[in-house]
Amino acid sequence: MDVAEALARRRSCRGYLPTAVPGEVVERVLALASRSASNSNSQPWQVHVVTGAAKRRLTEDLLAAYDTNERGRDYDYQPPAEDWPEPFRGRRRDFGDRLYGGALGIGREDGDRRAAHHRRNYDFFGAPVGMILTVSRRPRQGALVDAGLFLQSLMLAARAEGLDTCAQASLIDFSAVLRRNLRIPDEQLIVCGLSLGYGDRDHLTARCRTARLPLSSFVTFHDGEDEYCGA
Ligand SMILES: Cc1cc2nc3c(=O)[nH]c(=O)nc-3n(C[C@H](O)[C@H](O)[C@H](O)COP(=O)(O)O)c2cc1C
């Protein structure tokens, strides 16, 4: 699979087969992701890979923390739902409608069923492999950009191996649980989680399709002398 195909065929997977992912495949994917560009080749990322009994223990603790609402994260990946500005608020709502309404048949007002789906994040959606990505707290802003590149490379490399993934920022809502379980030092900022495995094509969530905006909505081409505004 070439890069274009991996990009076109990647989408977030929220239902996995129990099939184990061989350790050497996980290592191959991580090694490819480490080819990502980073500020002065600083490679600020660290990855915790959880499988087997370690994943079961972590999942139990995360679900318990979710049920008792013991939240706390290292940084605000996203604002609270009510603070999203337009046009992002509308796009977020459209995504929610596609996943909850379209794929799962759960209405906007059905908070209990929506929460039950959201809770599955903390079981890594049943994936055999979970990952937690951290970066050094200093220098922070650039390291977050680099971590984003790493995450995308990881997802594409996984796709090229026939694997599916879902980036999971929801996991960082329980950073104390992650820190305790995985012995993550305070100096490391917990950036994002990820599930990895072979996607279950029959899972209801596999029906969720997201759209993309046309280039004209986000690209400005500067190619004419008339537009030059400098001194
Ligand atoms: C950094 C990041 C964090 C995300 N966190 C979650 C998450 O916690 N749970 C989830 O179900 N999806 C999560 N997603 C997936 C997005 O919802 C998804 O990428 C977006 O809707 C576009 O759909 P696609 O990935 O299928 O193309 C996350 C994506 C990114 C890039």
**Pick the residue with more confidence: 16 or 224?**
16
- Interval 91-149: pLDDT, tens: 999 999 999 999 999 999 999 999 999 999 999 999 999 999 999 998 888 999 999 99
Locate the ligand 1 atom nearest the alpha carbon of residue 95 and give its number: 21
Q: What pLDDT sits at residue 44?
A: 97
Q: What pLDDT sits at residue 227?
A: 63
Q: Ligand 1 centre from 72 Cα, in Å?
A: 20
Predicted confidence (pLDDT) at residue 16 exceeds the cutoff of 80: yes
Locate the ligand 1 atom nearest the alpha carbon of residue 210 and give its number: 23
Element (H, E) at 92: helix 88-96
Cut 0.85: pTM above it: yes
Which residue puts its alpha carbon closest to atom 17 of ligand 1? Answer: 12
Q: Is 78 in the pocket of ligand 1 (CB under 6 A)?
A: no
Q: Can you give the residue ranges of every domain in the chain?
A: 3-75+121-209
Task: State the Cα–Cα distance between residues 196 and 17, nearest whole angstrom.
Answer: 10
Q: Is 205 in the pocket of ligand 1 (CB under 6 A)?
A: no
Please provide the CATH number assigned to the domain covering 3-75+121-209. 3.40.109.10
Percentage of the chain exceeding pLDDT 70: 97
199, 90 contact by CB (below 8 A): no
In this prediction, residue 228 has a pLDDT band, given cuts at 50, 70 and 90, of: low
Locate the ligand 1 atom nearest the alpha carbon of residue 125 and give its number: 11
Q: What pLDDT sits at residue 61?
A: 98
210, 98 contact by CB (below 8 A): yes
- DSSP-assigned letters across all residues of 18-80: SPPPPHHHHHHHHHHHTTS--GGG---EEEEEE-HHHHHHHHHHHHHHHHHT--B-SS-SS--
Q: Is 195 in the pocket of ligand 1 (CB under 6 A)?
A: no
DSSP state letter for 84? P
* Residue 25 CB contacts under 8 Å (≥ 6 apart), including other chains: 161, 163
* Integer angstrom CA distances of residue 210 from 85, 91, 117: 20, 10, 18
- Interval 41-99: pLDDT, tens: 999 999 999 999 999 999 999 999 999 999 999 999 999 989 999 999 999 999 999 99
Residue whose structure tokens are 């600083």: 42
**pLDDT average, residue stretch 26-43:** 98
Element (H, E) at 6: helix 3-9
Q: What pLDDT sits at residue 1?
A: 82
